Amino acid sequence: MHELGVTKTLLLTAEKECVKRGLSGKIRVKVTIGALTTYKEQAISSYFEALKKGILKDATLKVGVEQGAIQCRSCGMVSLVKDPYMMFCPSCDSPETEIIKGRDVVLNSLEKS
């Protein structure tokens, strides 16, 4: 369950931000999971619920998914990834592509709810 580590990091980051901005109580934590990661939304939500404490004990997590995108090294075309096992450029069929979106778990925002 590699979601444990990433959830701990999210909680730490969120906690620091809350302290910095003076947020506490019911906080809505918005997170985006890249479609090209292997993280499961369900697992991150469960760990979040199990591990939240202190300033974040009443926080709720809202998870969104970001679709992956690749850029072709040959022709430069940027395209969305529909299937994570198909990383070919749809324009020139080159397998030399680079993932530019969708491989991270990102803390998007913290709001008082």
CB of 75 to Zn ion, least distance (A): 3
Site for Zn ion in 51-110 (CB under 5 A): 72, 74-75, 77, 89, 91-92, 94
Residue (49 or 98) nearer to Zn ion, CB: 98
Residue (74 or 109) nearer to Zn ion, CB: 74
Angle at 2 between CA 61 and CA 26, to 5 degrees: 15
User: Which residues, in sequence order, are CB contacts of 83 under 8 Å at separation 6+?
Assistant: none
CB of 103 to Zn ion, least distance (A): 19
Distance CA 101, CA 103 (A): 6
Sites of contact with Zn ion (CB under 5 A):
72, 74-75, 77, 89, 91-92, 94
